[in-house]
Amino acid sequence: MRKASHTLSFLLVMLVGLVIGGIIGGDVFKETVPVLSYGRSIGFDPVTIDLSVIQLVLGFEMQINLAAILGLIISLLIFRKL
């Protein structure tokens, strides 16, 4: 049980680092430090599955910028200190 809790907390810290880094690079410092907002989109276009009763739309897109990667690295360093 301890290992599952440790893995879950690791994933949560990494996700928080990505989100905070993405927000900083995308919105906060976009005008002052434009290099932080440089990034790429990864994913695939939405696919629609129509089954007459239910319609499913499946898609995935992730926008990663330099600030998100820096946030991920910082969160990894913080997690190692804990």
Q: Sorting pLDDT into bands at 50, 70 and 90, what band is 81?
A: confident
Helix (H) / strand (E) containing 2: helix 2-23
Whole-number Å distance between alpha carbons of 8 and 20: 18
pLDDT tens track for 58-78: 999 988 889 899 999 999 998
Burial of residue 11 (number of CB atoms within 10 Å: 0-12, 13-18, 19+): exposed
pTM of the model: 0.72
Could you tell me the two tokens for 27?
Answer: 């919105």
pLDDT tens, 26-53?
778 778 888 888 888 899 999 999 998 9
